[in-house]
Structure formats: structure tokens, C-alpha cells
Amino acid sequence: MGSDRKNFDEMLFGSEGVRQPYDNYEKWFGSEDPARLTKKSKEAEAFFRRTGITFNVYGQAAAQERLIPFDLVPRILSSREWTRLSKGIEQRVRAINAFLHDIYNRQEILRAGRVPIELISQNAAFLPQMIGMSPPGDVYTHIVGTDIVRTGEDDFFVLEDNARTPSGVSYMLENRETMLHMFPELFSQIKVQPVSDYPKNLRKSLAACAPHSCEGKPTVAVLTPGIHNSAYFEHSFLADQMGVELVEGHDLRVVDGHIAMRTTQGYKVIDVLYRRVDDEYLDPLNFKPESMLGVPGIMDVYRAGNITIANAPGTGIADDKAIYSYMPDIIEFYTGEKAILKNVETWRCSEPASLQYVLEHLSELVVKEVHGSGGYGMLVGPAASQKELSAFTAKLKSNPGNYIAQPTLSLSTVPIFTKKQLAPRHVDLRPFVLVSPNKVSITPGGLTRVALKAGSLVVNSSQGGGTKDTWVLED
Amino acid sequence: MKLKITHTTSYSYDEPVSYALQQVRLTPMDNPQQKVLNWNVAIEGGDTELTFLDQHKNHTMLVRVEPDRNEVRIIASGEVETNDTVGVLGKVYGTAPLWHFQQHTRRTAPGKGVAKLARIIGTTDSQLDDLHTLSRAVLNAVPYGKGGTFVGTTAEEAIISGGGVCQDHAQIFVSAARKAGIPARYVSGYLMMNDRVDQDASHAWAEAHLQGLGWVGFDISNGISPDERYVRLATGLDSRDAAPISGVRMGTANESMIVSLQIQQ
């Protein structure tokens, strides 16, 4: 589809020139030799290849590894913009944790009729094994990646709450490191809030969620499904950066009522397990019996209060896209406040009137699977062919409850560096949030994903998107 | 009635097992139908790693088999005082909401056979009468018989096979009740058969939730509601949820199991 003229560009603002947060960067950029920047851009790619950041694309030739393209023009937010965003994210994340506790315990929000029971009772992400238990510190979503899009100066929308296992934080860190490596002088001219504390903060935040039974310094570990997982790089990167063990299911055993890992000095108890294995594969004793990736009995150890699992099992109920449409009510119910960040208008296709509207306006809408992620299985109406539209119409009619639809937002753009010049491309933002019993902390910035094709609105790396360094300026 | 129970389950492996876990739900809890006077679960050849209450408030133990054992024995024994409440457990609720008992699991997913049985509900204006009719219809459709089904058989598969044991009957019943919109659950426990001390095996039945009455029990295999000869051990959505013992083990060893159960007054 062609780019909408009314798109808000975060760097250049019509005839008024450069937007304030980009002032200093634009001055620097203007004084740079484009040939040098082109060379730098190539260097960045080599840098990424050396550090080994790659990802696997599902559905392509077996375990094909690709680099996510990196663009060297940063996405810049002012400290004022960030303060407002982070307040909105914190409010949302607190509400999500209160919601999860409520859903697995008293279910006040269902009794009050604010969220329909069917949305929970018929939800595949509802995990019965979580009923009636409170995880240590009542924290469910230790790590959240809230996807945010922007359409105007003050118009930020939350697109998705990734409350299960948000990935991408390793790109945020590597992008900054690459920029610091390539343009050290830039960071002495412009004061940017650092992100490099993330691994240290992640470790501290996880440790603060250790079970009550834990005495002394909590032991944290990262559980990976193994090298064939598309995010394996990130699992090993984070373990390495935090200075903790990276383990697989077969390294772990139940020992003295705890989960322990095999080390050269025998078995060592794990207090907090940052797991990157999905719920249903987590414990063959309690979930899928055939799973070889998980840890038998870990749910029993968890219910007995002897380990913290991050994120808690069953959190998927909160990032379901049908639940998403109730998030403004959920925030109000638990915080007593109006949502600071807006939700994108969402049609639930399970409702007949909405389904009819969606079918009539399919070519204008974005349709997503309720449990989908990564841009798989979605329809971007304005970019779809007739054939794709009619195929999707059939899907919607046969299983309407599986879909939600949203308007095609005119996402803001930020320039990328092309061979000739700066060219606007659509972006989104995934800030990374850490939750512990007393604190919600958000790394300034996050991961900016950028659609590299002119006019494209799909920023997912699996669909050809790239990334940018994200700057939040010091005051 | 005071029931004295000794329930021994022995697992033997044809080669030593380096790592195995057993999840054990063999501890009855107090409720309007029973009061536990004394109870003990002893493990020979294994260690109790921890105990907890599961989502149905079943007392659950996680047992680790001692490394490189060929045998582990789990002995549950004690005395329980029971009352005849004509099958009515009543309005006794845990944390799980009632709608949870309308959710199907892999083992209780209804197919054509269950759907046909579910149509019995609603034929009269008494749900209680309909459920008793359903109970008889389940036994008619799937007469008691060993060998046709196994531990993982689903409700629908048991109907197709045309024969089953108490586990199958209870799962078909809960599946049909849920299909008709009635919250229902699976119960595992003990039944003392009057004419003998040595019982065949542990038992399973079902409970359905009715407006006004609360939870009501149905022993489909015996065509009655539980009386004072029954002891409830665990409940759940299906036989996996409420399994007295379920386990995982590493390696290739084959497992065989011998159960002995004595119940007497």
C-alpha cells in the first residue's frame, strides 16, 4: 500500500523543520559525509555477524539463520515523552498483574460482569493448575514487552501486551552497543539515557521475586528449549550477561523439594527460573506428557512455594487479543484510574455485529488471530489481494471467535538511512518492563522495529522488518 | 461407619531407573461425608520431596524414587469415619469456579456417543432424575468389562469400545453432564464391597453440581449414589486430574504394578 501523506514523522515535522528531540542529531547528521555513513552501515552488519545475533524464521527452510537488518538512524524520544509513556506502561502492567491474580483466585472482575466469563472459560491460555495459588510476591509478569505505536504528537496506542515471554531485548542491547562502537563522538555530544543496566536490573528484579523459603542470595537460571529455538541466541545472551546458568530441562531434577541443576559440584538449588519454554511444554508430569523440553514436577515445586517461575505459568490469559479489547476496563477495575495509554479500537469477531462490520470493511482493517504472535496468520486488509481477502472471509466465517480486527493505523515514521538519503519508514516500539514485588522498572527506550519497505506497516522481523537504536534523551 | 483401609501399590521396573517421580493423591480429606481419624502414606524405596494442595485442593505428594531402584512401594493406610448423606456432598467449594467443571479435557471431550447420552438431560424437569437416568444409560452403553480400555482411554473411545471400568463410566458421565451444561467432576476413592476384605482395586465415580443441592455423587458402575462405604480421595476434571498415582521416569525401563487393597469395618 502507498504511504499515507498524513503520517506523523517523528524526525521531520512538515515545513516547521526538525522536531525538537532530533535537533542535535540532525545537526550532526548534516555534517557527516554520506560515504562515511554508508561505510559505517556495512560495519554495523559485520559487527552483528561477529556477535552472532541471528534469528530463525519459522516456515522457511529448516533453521535458516538470518540477521535482522539494523538501521543506523536512531529513534529519539524526549525525556518528557518518555515519562508519560512509562507512566502509562507501569499502570497497565500493574493492572495486568492484579487481573491475573484475580482470575486465578477470587475472580471479582468476572463476578462484577466487567469481563465475560466465556473469555476466560473458553480460553486455551487459562491454566487450571494456577487456580488458587499466589506466586511469590504476587508477581505474574516478571518481564513484559508492551508494543506501542504512535500516530501523532501525543497519540500513543498500546498494540499488544506481551505478558508471556517477550523477546527482543538482546537486540535493544546490541543495537546500543553497536551505535556506541560506531559513533562514540555522537554520544558525547548528545546525552542519551543508558540501557546497558538491563541485564543487571533483570537479575536483581528476578532475585527480588525469590520464594519466601529462599535463604541467602537467590540463585537465578535461564531455561531454554535448546539450540533449535528461534530465540536461543537471546537465551544464552541474557544468561551470559546476567552471569547466571543457562539450563535445559534435562539438566534439572527435583532434589529435596526444590528444582536443582547439575553442576560440577553436584546439584544446586534454583530459586528463580527465567524460563523461555512455553507453558504446555514446561512440565510433562502436569502438562503435555510427551514434552522433552520441560522439567517434570516443576509445577508441584512451584505450588509448594519452592521456586519462582518467570513469567508465571498461565499469564497468556492476559495477552490474549480478545482480553486486550477489555484492557481499559481492566485498568479501571483494578487501579480506579482511567487508562493513560490508549487501546487501539478492536472489533471482536465473536460478536455477530462486529463480525458483520469486519466482513464489510475487510479491505480497510488489520485482522489478527486471538492467540497469534509474530505477525503470523494476520491479514493487512489494505495490502491484501482479492484472493487473500476472500480466503480470509472464509476463515472468519468458519471460526469468528478466533479473530479480532483493528483499523489500519497510520503509524508514525522515522527516517532510515538509504543509499541516497533519509527516507521515512513506519515504526513501532517495544519497551521492556521488569516487575518485582515493590517495583516496576522500565528500561528507557526499548526495541524500535521498522518496516524496511516503503509504505509497509509490517515491522515484524519474521516478515522482513529491521530494528533501530532507541534513544531517550536526558533532561 | 468406621472404615479401616490399607492400600499398597508396588511398582517394579525391569531395569534400574535412574530418575523417576510419582505424584501421589492418596490422602483423604475431611468433608461432610467423611472424617479422617488417622492416615499415613509410607513410601518404601522413595522419598517424599514435598506436599501441596492442587487446584482442586487435593492433598498431593511428590515422591522421588530412590536412584537405581527396581521397586518402589506406596502404602496408604488409616481409618476414616464415614456418614451416609444419600450421595449429597453439598455446597462445598474450593477456589475453582463452578464454570471450570463445565470445561472439557482431552479425556472428556464429547463426541457423537457422549452427545447422544447428554440428550437425556432435560427430558424431565428434574435434573436429579435425569442424572440418575444418565447414570443407568452410561452403564447400559458401556457394560462393566476389563481389557477394552486403558488408563488413557477417553470417554468417547470407551463408548466406541463398548465396555469399560469405573474410570470410563465416570468420565463418560461427567462428559455428558458438562455437554448438557451441568458442572461435573471425576472422583477417585475407595469403595468397600460388603462381602470381602480384599478389594479388587480403588474406585472412581462422578459428582454433578445441582442448584440447591450442591455436589451430588453418582457411582455409575454400581448404579447408586455413594453411601457410607465410600471414601473420597481426590477430585478433578478427569481421571488424570484426580489420579491417585501418576508418574514420569527417565530411560527405557518397563514398569509393572501390583495393587492390594483391604477395606474393613
Closest chain A CA to residue B62: A300
Helix/strand number for chain A, H first, E second: 15, 23
- For residue A254, the distance in angstroms to the closest alpha carbon of chain B comes to 8
CB B247 within 8 Å of CB A297: no
One domain for residues B199 and B122: yes
Q: Which of B17, B18, B19, B21 to mutate to test the interface with A (most CBs of A within 10 A)?
A: B21
One domain for residues B54 and B157: no
* DSSP H or E run through B175: helix B166-179
Neighbour tally for A187: CB within 10 Å = 14
Rg (CA), chain A: 22
Yes or no, beta carbons of B49 and A257 under 8 Å apart: yes
pLDDT band of A372, cuts 50, 70, 90: low
Spell out which residues of chain A touch residue B99, defining contact as CB-CB under 8 Å. 117, 121
Yes or no, beta carbons of A304 and B50 under 8 Å apart: yes
Domain extent, residue B63, equals 2-82+245-264
- For residue A435, the distance in angstroms to the closest alpha carbon of chain B comes to 25
CB A273 within 8 Å of CB A309: yes
Between CA A75 and CA A55 the distance in angstroms is 22
Yes or no, beta carbons of B50 and A257 under 8 Å apart: yes
User: Under 8 Å CB-to-CB from A330, ≥6 apart: which residues?
Assistant: A95, A96, A99, A109, A114, A115, A323
Spell out which residues of chain A touch residue B21, defining contact as CB-CB under 8 Å. 254, 285, 296-297
Yes or no, beta carbons of A132 and B246 under 8 Å apart: no
- For residue B55, the distance in angstroms to the closest alpha carbon of chain A comes to 5
pLDDT of residue A239: 97
Between CA A333 and CA A314 the distance in angstroms is 21
Does A256 touch chain B if contact means CB atoms closer than 8 Å?
yes
One domain for residues B92 and B75: no
Does A107 touch chain B if contact means CB atoms closer than 8 Å?
yes
Q: Which of B260, B237, B262, B257 is nearest to B246 (CA)?
A: B257
Domain of B175, CATH number, reads 3.10.620.30
Does A66 have pLDDT greater than 80?
no
One domain for residues B223 and B259: no
Spell out which residues of chain A touch residue B22, defining contact as CB-CB under 8 Å. none
Does A311 have pLDDT greater than 50?
yes
Helix/strand number for chain B, H first, E second: 4, 14
pLDDT of residue A51: 67
What's the mean pLDDT in A14-31? 89
Grid cell, residue B233, equals 480421595
Spell out which residues of chain A touch residue B20, defining contact as CB-CB under 8 Å. none
pLDDT tens by residue, A185-200: 999 999 999 999 999 9
Closest chain B CA to residue A298: B62
SS3 (DSSP) at A104: coil
The structural domain count of chain B equals 2
Does B248 touch chain A if contact means CB atoms closer than 8 Å?
yes
Does B186 have pLDDT greater than 50?
yes
- For residue B241, the distance in angstroms to the closest alpha carbon of chain A comes to 9
Between CA A237 and CA A68 the distance in angstroms is 16
Yes or no, beta carbons of B62 and A121 under 8 Å apart: no
pLDDT of residue A58: 45
pLDDT band of A60, cuts 50, 70, 90: very low
Does B51 touch chain A if contact means CB atoms closer than 8 Å?
yes
Q: Residue A300 is nearest to which of B50, B237, B241, comparing CB atoms?
A: B50
Q: Is the peptide bond before A311 cis (omega within 30 degrees of 0)?
A: yes
Name the CA dihedral angle for A80, A82, A84, A90, rounded to a multiple of 10 degrees: -150
pLDDT of residue A377: 78
Return residues 95-114 of B near A (CB < 8 Å).
Answer: 95-97, 99-100, 102-103
Yes or no, beta carbons of A131 and B100 under 8 Å apart: yes
Paired strand residues for B40:
B77
Q: Which of B22, B48, B50 to mutate to test the interface with A (most CBs of A within 10 A)?
A: B50
Strands laid side by side in the A365-369 sheet: A347-348, A403-407, A365-369, A379-380
pLDDT tens by residue, A432-468: 999 999 899 999 999 999 998 888 887 877 777 899 9
Grid cell, residue A146, equals 508492551
SS3 (DSSP) at A147: strand
Q: Residue B96 is nearest to which of A131, A254, A300, comparing CB atoms?
A: A131
Does A1 have pLDDT greater than 50?
no
- For residue B101, the distance in angstroms to the closest alpha carbon of chain A comes to 10
One domain for residues B111 and B204: yes
Yes or no, beta carbons of A300 and B60 under 8 Å apart: yes
pLDDT of residue A68: 81
Name the CA dihedral angle for B25, B28, B29, B34, rounded to a multiple of 10 degrees: 150
User: Under 8 Å CB-to-CB from B231, ≥6 apart: which residues?
Assistant: B3, B5, B28, B34, B80, B82, B189, B190, B191
One domain for residues B131 and B96: yes
Between CA A288 and CA A293 the distance in angstroms is 10
One domain for residues B24 and B65: yes
pLDDT tens by residue, B59-89: 999 999 999 889 999 999 999 999 999 999 9
One domain for residues B181 and B147: yes
Is pTM, for the whole model, over 0.90? yes
Domain of B52, CATH number, reads 2.60.40.2250
Q: Which of B58, B65, B99 to mutate to test the interface with A (most CBs of A within 10 A)?
A: B99
One domain for residues B100 and B181: yes
User: Taking each helix axis from N to C terminus, what angle separates A169-182 and A198-207, rounded to the nearest 10 degrees?
Assistant: 150
CB A171 within 8 Å of CB A231: no
CB A321 within 8 Å of CB A160: yes
pLDDT of residue A17: 86
Between CA A9 and CA A427 the distance in angstroms is 10
User: Under 8 Å CB-to-CB from B167, ≥6 apart: which residues?
Assistant: B149, B151, B153, B204, B239
SS3 (DSSP) at A337: coil
Size (chain A), residues? 475
Distance of CA B94 to the CA centre of its chain: 17
pLDDT of residue A4: 45
pLDDT of residue A54: 55
One domain for residues B21 and B78: yes
- The count of CB pairs under 8 A between chains A and B is 71
Pairing status of strand A220-223 against strand A245-247 = parallel
pLDDT tens by residue, B5-62: 999 999 999 999 999 999 999 999 999 999 999 999 999 999 999 999 999 999 999 9
Yes or no, beta carbons of B52 and A304 under 8 Å apart: yes
Does B63 touch chain A if contact means CB atoms closer than 8 Å?
no
Does A67 have pLDDT greater than 80?
no
Return residues 179-218 of B near A (CB < 8 Å).
Answer: none
Spell out which residues of chain B touch residue A113, defining contact as CB-CB under 8 Å. none
CB B105 within 8 Å of CB B240: yes
One domain for residues B69 and B128: no
Closest chain A CA to residue B61: A300
What's the mean pLDDT in B228-243? 96
- For residue B40, the distance in angstroms to the closest alpha carbon of chain A comes to 19
Spell out which residues of chain A touch residue B23, defining contact as CB-CB under 8 Å. 285-286, 297, 300
What's the mean pLDDT in B101-116? 96
Query: How would DSSP label each residue in A252-310?
Result: EEEETTEEEEEETTEEEEESEEEE-S-GGGS-TTTS-TT-SSS-TTHHHHHHTTS-EEE
User: Under 8 Å CB-to-CB from B153, ≥6 apart: which residues?
Assistant: B107, B161, B164, B167, B168
One domain for residues B149 and B229: yes
Between CA A239 and CA A232 the distance in angstroms is 11
Return residues 292-321 of A near B (CB < 8 Å).
Answer: 296-297, 300-301, 303-306
DSSP designation for A241: H
Does B246 touch chain A if contact means CB atoms closer than 8 Å?
yes
Residue B261: phi and psi, rounded to 5, are -135, 120
Yes or no, beta carbons of B49 and A256 under 8 Å apart: yes
User: What mean pLDDT value characterizes chain A?
Assistant: 91
What's the mean pLDDT in A312-334? 94
pLDDT tens by residue, B240-265: 999 999 999 988 889 999 999 999 98
Amino acid at position B155, single letter: A
Q: Residue B95 is nearest to which of A132, A304, A306, comparing CB atoms?
A: A132
DSSP designation for B219: B
Grid cell, residue B112, equals 457423537
Instruction: Give the least confident one: A147-156, A365-374, A407-416.
Output: A365-374
CB A432 within 8 Å of CB A472: no
> What is this model's ipTM?
0.95
Q: Residue B21 is nearest to which of A289, A297, A304, comparing CB atoms?
A: A297
Spell out which residues of chain A touch residue B100, defining contact as CB-CB under 8 Å. 121, 128, 131
Tell me the percentage of chain A whose pLDDT exceeds 90.
74
pLDDT of residue B91: 92
Spell out which residues of chain B touch residue A306, defining contact as CB-CB under 8 Å. 50
